[in-house]
A = this chain, B = another copy of it.
Amino acid sequence: MFRLLLKQRMSTKASPFKAKVTAVESLTQGKWIQTRKIKYNDPNGNSREWEMAVRTTRSDTTNIDAVSIVSILHHTDKPKEIVLVQQFRPPTERVVIELPAGLIDPNESVETTAVRELQEETGYHGEFRKQSPVIYSDPGLTNANMVLAYVDIDLQNPKNCDPKPKLEESEFITTFSLPLNNLRKSLDEIAQRENCTVDARLYHFAMGLELAKTQL
C-alpha cells in the first residue's frame, strides 16, 4: 500500500522569500495588463464612465482568465488537509499563500486547466470533480474572472506517492498543506511568522470554514 509522507514544504528550487522588487515604473499599455475606459448607462439611463484593468491573455473561446483549485488530502493517519502554494508576487512585494491556480491556455477547458495546473504547481495527480460558475476577483477594479474547481487527490495512487512539481524556469512555487480545521488561524500564524501574506479568496474560504463552526 502506498502512503504519502507529506513533507511540510516540497519546494524544489530557491525559497520564494529570497525575491525582491527593485523598481516600479509607469507603464502606458502593458503586454500582459492594460487599462480601459468604459462608457456605460446607469440604471436611470444616464451615461457615465468607469476605468478598469484587463488581462490581455484571456482566450476568446472560454472568456475565462483563470482556474483556482480546492484539493483536500484525505490522510489515513491525520486530519484532512488542503493543498496550498506560496510564491513571491511582485505586485504585492511579498510572498503570498494561495490556492493552486493558473491561467487557462487557448482552447483549454476548465477541467483540463485544473488538473494540469495542480500537477505542474504541486506535483499531485488529481481528478476533476466539479466547478463554480464564472466569478469575478475584484469586480470594481477589473474584468479578471475565474472558476473555482474542486479536484480529488487519491493518496493511494502511486503517482501521488512522491509528488514532484513541474515548474517553469521563472516559477518559484512552494507547495505545502495545512489542516482544514482552524485553517484561518493557521494562515494568520504563518503570515505573521514568515512575514508573508494571504490571497483574499483563500482567506474568505478559511473565514467560511471558521464561521460554519460557530454560526451554522
A53 at the interface (CB under 8 A from B): yes
B89 and A197 contacting across the interface, CB-CB below 8 Å: no
B contact residues around A30 at 8 Å (CB): 35, 37, 51
- Report Cα–Cα, A28/B36, bound state, in Å: 8
A216 touching B208 in the complex, CB below 8 Å, given contacts A47-B22, A53-B33, A199-B139:
no
B contact residues around A1 at 8 Å (CB): none
A5 at the interface (CB under 8 A from B): no
- Report Cα–Cα, A202/B201, bound state, in Å: 8
CB neighbors of B among A147-203 (8 A): 148, 170, 172, 180-181, 188, 191-192, 197-203
A75 at the interface (CB under 8 A from B): no
Q: Which among B55, B203, B208 is the interface contact of A212 at CB below 8 angstroms?
A: B208
A141 at the interface (CB under 8 A from B): yes
B contact residues around A213 at 8 Å (CB): 212, 216
B contact residues around A142 at 8 Å (CB): 53, 91, 138, 141-142
Shortest Cβ-Cβ A-B pairs, 7 listed: A208-B208, A53-B53, A212-B212, A14-B43, A52-B91, A50-B90, A18-B43
